[in-house]
Structure 1
Amino acid sequence: MKPLLQPARRIVPAGVLGGIAVACGVFLTATSGWLIVQASTRPVILTLLTAVVGVRTFGIGRPVFRYWERVISHDGALRDLAERRTETYRSLIPLTPARLGRRRRADLLTGVVRDLDDEVDVQVRSLVPLIATLVASVLAIVVAFVLLPVAGAVVAVLALCAVALGVVDGALERRGQRDVLAARGEVQRIAHLYAANTVELQAIHAVDDLARQLAEAQAAAERAARRQVLGRAVGLGGSLLLTGLGVGVMAYAVSGPLGAGALAAPVAALLVFLPLALGDVLGLVPDAVGALVRARVARRRLVGLVDQEPAVADVARERLTPAAPTLRLVDATASWTGAAEHLPPTTLTLAPGEKVLVTGANGSGKSTLLALLARQLDPSAGRYEVDGRDVRTVSLAGIRDLMAVVDDDPHLFNGTVRANLLLAQPDATDRELDAALVHAGLGRWLAGLPDGLDTQLGTGVRGLSGGERARFGIARALVSGRPVVLLDEPVAHLDRPTATAVLGDLMASADRRTVVLVSHQPVLTEAFDRVVALDASPAPPLPSSIGGSS
């Protein structure tokens, strides 16, 4: 992963532009103070022209440079977000599902969305303001030192006090951020449970209970956020206090030279206005430090997510493109955790176009076998070959591109029928989509849709029964055009007549494809070329969220 504080492209120039914009604001206030005091002496108007032009220049420069900084910084941050998100997703591919299955879906969602957003926010909300503050503070110190050395020292001490205040604010923010993230994860967990199981919850009259839990979790998250805001309040209040002290100390520092006649009154006014103008600048520090703290905590969570040892090695780049591959396991074992074997030594050869039913009791290793064939796991021992090549010498994508996997609960996105099918093959034509649905036994269902392939699916629009979902998953596998179809208990939740009809349609439409179906009980055995029974001795339990029954 990219270092957290590595500036994205154009972020440093954006910070410099922001510093110039802030400096324009500081010098606008200071020059205005000089102009007001000088004008009170009723000088010749021509002697004020330089200051008048300066005020106008700084007044125009402030919004111009600020706009320029915002355009450049947000462009760089959005580009950085795209790069980091792509890098994160690529890191997750070898971890799916063996490593990610141990985590709750809500935690994954929080990690790849909210935490990644917090990490990228550090570019705009922390690096740019801190660079801008540094640039403006240095310019203010230099100007003050040139006019009166002791005034430069006052501004420098004021800037150092702002840094110390930022450190205190960061400590308070860090303490509250852990509670905020934990509460945020709980809200995401309950919200996901609610959204993914709305129909089932309505059936058992549990919607109100879950809604109450969601409200309680949201209230806890809001309380945690309020505690976290305490740190920001301390920072902002402290910056205002520092500004007032800075003005008082500066007024005292210039009073001596002013009384002795060594410093003109307009210059003294300019110097007194400097800490006042810098107050807006130093007020950026607490928010910038808070963003940095949130980004560091988010980075630790992301690293914990992606910095796991992959269950599969993806070091090769060669791809295989056989139209009808031969799959072979030789004394292969596999483990989800690396600590215990979830598949005993297994030897199995799958010829092109062969239909194989794998049965066995719960815990016998059926789902693990399917994961091994789909290369969601690498063998712990033994070999897995495709057309005589060890899969570890071929790219991960090259093997997975050969496999279409259908589990017992195919996921459907809220969208059209077409969009849900095109996930498997983006280049498929409408004719191919229609054919896949017909071959999966959904021809009459398709004919009854009001808008055909453009019909919206999802909660509150048009739902699918269990049998229709199973058939839709099979249709998606057929659309993919992949030569090997792996099915993990695809009809486990269906009644026997429906299950038989679904599998019958699958076998009729996948005549040239290799089909491996795992089931805890024999079903439609006459449609398969072979039935393989795994050892009934129970394997260690799988981590949560991994596998179905074995």
Structure 2
Amino acid sequence: MTGRRPGLRLASPRTVLAGVIGAGALGSGVALTATSGWLIVRAAERPVILTLLTAIVAVRAFGMARPLLRHWERLRSHDAALDDLAHARTDVYAALVPLTPARLPRHGRAAVLHGVVDDVTDRVEAQVRVTVPVVAVGVTGLGTVALCSVVEPRAGAVVAALLGVVLLVTALAWRVETRSQVELGEARAELTQVSELVAAQADELRAIGATGSALGRLDVAHRSVARCTRRQAWGRAVAAGVLPLATALATLGCALAARGSGHSDPVLALLVLAPFALAEVFGPLPDVARSWARARSSAARLESLLDASPAVVDSLPPDGLPPDGVPSATSQGRRLLPGGVPRLELRGVSATWDGTRDHLPTTDLDVYPGSVQAVVGPSGCGKSTLLAVLARQLDPSDGRYLVDGTDVRDLPAATVRDLVAVVDDEPHVFATSLRENLRLARPDADDAAIVRALRDAGLGGWFDALSDGLQTALGSGGQGVSGGERARLSIARALLSGRPVLLLDEPVAHLDHPTAVAVLRDLLRCRGGRTVVVVSHRPEGLTDADGIMDLTRPEVGLVGQVG
């Protein structure tokens, strides 16, 4: 696995600095309130105006410093958080690649999507939503205690007691949030999964009359999320009510402590208003408790998602050299692969996803360069497992997988994966332009290559009808895409990638018969000498294959030499 593990990280020099700057902003607010009180009371005594100039200048300085420091804090903290978010997402993607797809099915697509979007964001945002406010509130509160203690020790003790109450209330709010966080996470995952089902399979649900049942399940998921959210909100509501009350009592306590202190009226005003000004300082703490609980829960879910051993043991780095840097006969990954389209061989290969049983029966297969191999059989017979082995997403549990005569275990995993492009039965269309949907396969592709791939995939007429061409927005809020067009877009991606082996996993499973035949015929026509391995439980479009293997009878149907 490459990349850093995305554990919970709250403090960094930049976020701590942002917290200190935030403390300056909050402290300026407290000082502004206290100094203004002193100035108003002192001015009521009608002294010589020169005696007020210092306080007047201080009020102006604090008034200008507060928004300026707040703006500076936001720039520093958000810059640090956004930078960390970019790195965190990259780290998560790098950690997911070795686990895909063999170690992810138990989580489901909705859980993976939730993990790499919401959980990573919650974990990173804790730096802004937890670290910065805690540092700012802590420094400001302790500064206020010190100021009041110097002027009047009893008032300082009252403010210190206020800080203790604030700490206890915040801890209570955090505990309430934490207790419901797991249940809320499960409820949100269920809601995401059901929403994905309803949105992606609307036609299928309508066809079997299950729309009402699916919508009912969606309502249940919504109610579960709402119930958990209300339970969590109780803790924040208590904190939001208790903190102002505690601040008011502390203000009253400071007034009583200052009453018999013998200080002048302006100083008494400063002591009374100092704890009152802390009400704004303590305001973010209920949200701090919530963000802290969510960040911990998100970090735990991410660890659970990524805490799995890869299904592929990659003993060599991408350059094919062992750790000592000296190449050997079995470590020259790229030099063992001649140019052009490779020959793929399975010799007595079986494979398992979970180690409990063989999901691919013992299989022998020869796929010669440029050939078209069809693999058929009923659901559950091991067709997708066969493709996972060929794509080096799953290592054989027995037997040997050879690429141009070299066992894949003696090749870097990246070397083998660079040879294949996979088209699955549920191709994804991203909510971006048509160009970017295709450039995902080859970032350096120019527009001419993209258009050629679209035409080769049978989308020439569809593309010509788009008024915005490659700039056309697809997905949510953009150009609608039918099932056949979605399948062809996925094939266009595979063709654009330029990889010599195309692996198709039920590419026409959800299409009607004429569309399925047309899609596969266009693919085979424009494959350009590439090897194609297509698995299907339907015979449509497979008549042009060089060989057909029935996985229920793996001893027959091997592909012979092509050409």
Shorter-normalised TM range:
0.7 to 0.9
Instruction: Name the counterpart of 2:383.
Output: 366
Question: Match for residue 25 of structure 1?
Answer: 29
- The letter for the 1-side match of 2:421 is A
> CA offset at residue 347 of structure 1?
3.7
Partner of 1:172: 176
Match in the other structure for 2:361:
344
Tell me how far 1:369 sits from its aligned partner. Answer: 1.0
Match of 2:306 in 1: 306
Structure 1 residues 251 and 443: alpha-carbon distance in aligned structure 2, compared to 1, 3 A threshold: closer
Tell me how far apart the structure 1 counterparts of residues 32 and 481 of structure 2 sit (CA, whole Å). Answer: 65
CA drift of 1:413 comes to 3.6
2:402 pairs with 1:398: no
Q: What is the CA–CA distance in structure 2 between the aligned matches of 1:497 and 1:180, rounded to whole Å?
A: 46
Q: Do 1:22 and 1:281's aligned partners in 2 also have CA atoms closer than 8 Å?
A: yes
Q: Report the equivalent of 2:559.
A: none
Partner of 1:54: 58
**1:532 partnered with 2:536:** no
SS in 2 for 1:257: coil
Closer, same or farther in 2 for the Cα pair 1:365/1:60, shift >3 Å? same
Shift of 1:231: 0.7
For these two proteins, the number of residue pairs brought into alignment is 533
Which residue matches 1:436? 453
Show CA shifts across 1:296-342 (max 9, x none): 11211221112222222345322547432233334333211133221
**Where do 5+ consecutive residues of structure 1 fail to align?**
538-550
Corresponding residue SS for 1:323: coil
Residue matched to 2:114: 110
Q: What pairs up with 1:16-415 in 2 under 5 angstroms?
A: 16-201=20-205, 210-211=214-215, 213-215=217-219, 217-258=221-262, 263-314=263-314, 316-319=316-319, 320=334, 322-414=339-431
Structure 1 residue 514, shift from structure 2 partner: 1.7
| In 1: Cα distance, 2:378 partner to 2:259 partner | 91
Residues 28, 62 of structure 2: 8 Å contact kept: yes
CA distance in 1, matches of 2:276, 2:477: 57
What percentage of aligned pairs have identical amino acids?
Answer: 50
| Offset, 1:207 | 5.4
Q: CA deviation at 1:126?
A: 0.9
1:421-446 deviation per Cα after TM superposition (whole angstroms, max 9, x unaligned): 33322333444344334433444555
Secondary structure of 1:102's partner? coil
Give the alignment partner of residue 474 of structure 1, picking from 487, 491, 494.
Answer: 491
> Relative to structure 1, is the Cα distance of residues 278 and 342 closer, same or farther in structure 2, using a 3 angstrom cutoff?
same
CA positional deviation for 1:65: 0.9
Distance 1:310 1:432, change over 3 A: same
Deviations 1:155-185 (A, max 9, x none): 2222122111111111122233334333322
SS of aligned partner of 2:260: helix
Please identify, of 514-523 and 368-377, the stretch whose mean Cα deviation from structure 2 is larger: 514-523
* Residues 454 and 73 of structure 1: CA distance in aligned 2, closer, same or farther (over 3 Å): closer
DSSP-derived class of the 1:309 partner: coil
RMSD: 3.0
Where does residue 544 of structure 1 map in the other structure? none
Deviates more, 1:448-457 or 1:348-357: 448-457
Shift of 1:72: 0.8
8 A contact 2:345–2:401 mirrored in 1: yes
Between the aligned partners of 1:245 and 1:502, the Cα distance in structure 2 is 75
CA distance in 2, matches of 1:43, 1:502: 92
Unaligned stretches of 5+ residues in structure 2: 320-333, 555-563
Counterpart contact for 2:391–2:417, Cα < 8 Å:
yes
Instruction: State the shift of 1:197 in Å.
Output: 2.5
Aligned to 2:561: none
Aligned-pair distance for 1:2? 4.0
Partners of 2:147 and 2:512 in 1: CA distance: 83
Give the superposition deviation at 1:464. Answer: 5.4
The one-letter code sitting in structure 1 at the alignment partner of 2:303 is: V
Opposite residue 73 of structure 1, the aligned amino acid is: S
Q: Distance in 1 between matches of 2:377 and 2:203?
A: 32
Query: Residues 431 and 476 of structure 2 are in contact (CA less than 8 Å); yes or no, is this contact kept in structure 1?
Result: yes
